[in-house]
Structure 1
Amino acid sequence: MSASDQQARAKAFHALHVPGDPVILFNIWDAGSAKAVAEAGARAIATGSASVAGSRGYHDAESLPMEQALNNAARIVDSVDLPLTIDFEGGYAAEPALVAVHAAAMIEIGVIGINFEDQMIGGAGLHTVDFQCERIAAIRAAADKAGIDFFINARTDVWLKAGRETLDGDALFDEAVKRGKAFAEAGADGFFVPGLTDEGEIAAICETSPLPVNAMMFDAMPPKERLAELGVARISHGPGPWRQAMAALTEAARAAL
């Protein structure tokens, strides 16, 4: 892919993030699933880290070797004519400089965005706000050097297990708001809040966030139409599609056997 084509895809992806008219990302795990979702009418393609890892027999949380993650991403880029954003977890490193190197490798193969989370992969709790901002800023610098409007979807895990180890109640919401504003100042383009299901809090996050808000579908989530009304700009499906596909495969195999 040429740099101009990659930049065009990056700009198109940015434009899809409209509060009230969210882009729907039905997360995939390889080139084949990317093609299937593209044929269904997707406007962009997004991986889920648990799905990619699981499809290769690994657990989530960066147990999939990075070389395999890069090779998989490159194959997806070559397979569909749509913007591709990668669930890059914690960037396969803690230190900002190394995170930037890894993000640059994704940019080099044609990826136009990543999810980048603030929980300590392999550890407990969340990175401090300041340190996570350093990590985001390092990725932004690498993208600027490459000349790509790389979409950094800054994910906070305050509503998942990492945040609940130290926070609860209103403190979770306040911490998320603080992180969203800081991540925006550090150079993020989107704010991802997986695990947030309360309609009032979703609306409040959308109102207070300087970035377009990404919600992830769970069983307890409002439907996509309601999420749009609440101001969400991006809806992800996470590992759900892969789990559905594997459940269907298991049932088909059980019937055949």
Structure 2
Amino acid sequence: MDKFESYRALHVPGDPFIIANVWDVGSARMLAGMGAKALATSSAALAFVQGSRDMGALTRDASLAHAEEIVAAIDLPVQGDFENGFGDDPETVAETVRLAAEVGLAGICVEDMSYPDTLPYPADLATERMRAGASAARSLGRDFFFVARADGVMNGVYDMEEALARLTAFDEAGADGIYVPLPPTMDDLARICAATKKPVNALAAGAFTGSSLSDFAAAGVARVSLGSALARATHRVIFDAAEAMLAEGDFTPLARTIPGGQVQELIDKGAPGG
């Protein structure tokens, strides 16, 4: 199998792998050096790096350039977090799929939300957008894993019943994977997995950070992503250390660091051929 086929093969319901979301070459190579099987970009983490805002502020060109840099930096397959596909109409979603494939991504996620208002597209339009993305993925001439996201539960704009109806429609429209971020409970996540034969992505954030990989497996999940959580954990360290230094002149948080040599070793190990 090539890298793209092997990426698809990782998606086994009930036997999830962790897909870590990274934000630059260093974080990508470090995670690759530590044994990650695949990586993903994060729109929010990229926004942090650029001093921008998430959810509609990033351009498609910027996201593609960022993804291309990550792809070139490692040997692992990379999934793109591409918000709503950077446009409302189905053809824009299809074009985003084609452009994502050109920069070497193994797949992308597309949300059912419009920006900048973060309201859900009407169900029919949302389904047609996913159908266009899935069709474009099938026409590429190589494997490409297209994931349809139903974000309304996480954003508080529709309930679980609507999410289940949408994921069924997205499944029938040809999506390779399904993603409903942050359902209320693990039982709800299990309902999502039971409603489709397609691999389901779960997000390790919020209350779900208290769950183990075996908990996600028991629910039927095929992969667990981190969203911007790892990037925000890094910013937590920056915040805590800076607050201590700038407010109190206390440098002790800097003692809780990983040795630079160990960081460099992992980065070297995660580089292509490393």
Report the TM-score when normalising by structure 1. Answer: 0.89
Q: Paired residue for 1:119?
A: 113
Q: How does 1:137-176 map to 2 (within 5 A)?
A: 137-161=131-155, 164-165=156-157, 167=158, 172-176=159-163
Instruction: Tell me which of 170, 186, 200 is aligned to 1:199.
Output: 186
The superposition leaves residues 183-233 of structure 1 with CA deviations (integer Å, 9 ceiling, x where unpaired) of 111110111111114122111221122311111112311222211111111
CA distance in 1, matches of 2:60, 2:221: 31
CA distance in 2, matches of 1:145, 1:66: 21
Q: Paired residue for 1:242?
A: 231
Q: Paired residue for 1:106?
A: 100
Contact 1:22-1:228 within 8 A present in 2 as well = yes
Structure showing greater Rg: 2
Q: Paired residue for 2:28?
A: 34
Instruction: Determine helix, strand or coil for the equivalent of 2:56.
Output: coil
Contact 2:111-2:148 within 8 A present in 1 as well = yes
* 1:61 matches 2:19: no
| Greater alpha carbon shift after TM alignment, 193-202 vs 14-23 | 193-202
* 1:184 matches 2:171: yes
The superposition leaves residues 60-86 of structure 1 with CA deviations (integer Å, 9 ceiling, x where unpaired) of 013123222111111111100011001
Q: Paired residue for 1:90?
A: 84
Instruction: Determine helix, strand or coil for the equivalent of 1:46.
Output: strand
Q: Paired residue for 1:225?
A: 214
CA distance in 1, matches of 2:230, 2:92: 31
State the percentage of identical aligned residues. Answer: 38
CA distance in 2, matches of 1:147, 1:129: 29
CA distance in 1, matches of 2:95, 2:180: 25
Report the TM-score when normalising by structure 2. Answer: 0.84
Residue ranges of structure 2 left out of the alignment (5+ in a row): 247-274
RMSD: 1.7
Residue type of the alignment partner of 2:21: N
Q: CA deviation at 1:112?
A: 1.2
Q: CA deviation at 1:174?
A: 1.8
Change (3 A) 1:219 1:140: closer
CA distance in 2, matches of 1:186, 1:78: 31
CA distance in 1, matches of 2:34, 2:162: 38
Q: CA deviation at 1:32?
A: 1.6
